[in-house]
Amino acid sequence: MNKLASLFAALIIVTTFTGCSDEKEKESIIVKNDNTSNTIQKSELPKPTHDEKASIKKNFINSCISGSGITEDALIPQITEVCGCTYNSIIEEQGIAEFIRIDKDIRDGKSKTVPEKWNIDSVVSQCVKKLDS
CA distances from 89 to 15, 26, 28, 41 (A): 14, 26, 29, 33
- pLDDT tens, residue order, the chain (133 aa): 455 655 555 555 445 454 454 444 333 333 333 444 443 333 456 788 999 999 999 999 998 888 888 888 998 999 999 999 999 999 999 999 999 999 889 889 998 888 999 988 899 889 989 988 7
Closest residue by Cα to residue 62 from 44, 45, 30, 86: 86
Which pTM value belongs to this model? 0.71
Which residue ranges make up each domain of the chain?
46-132
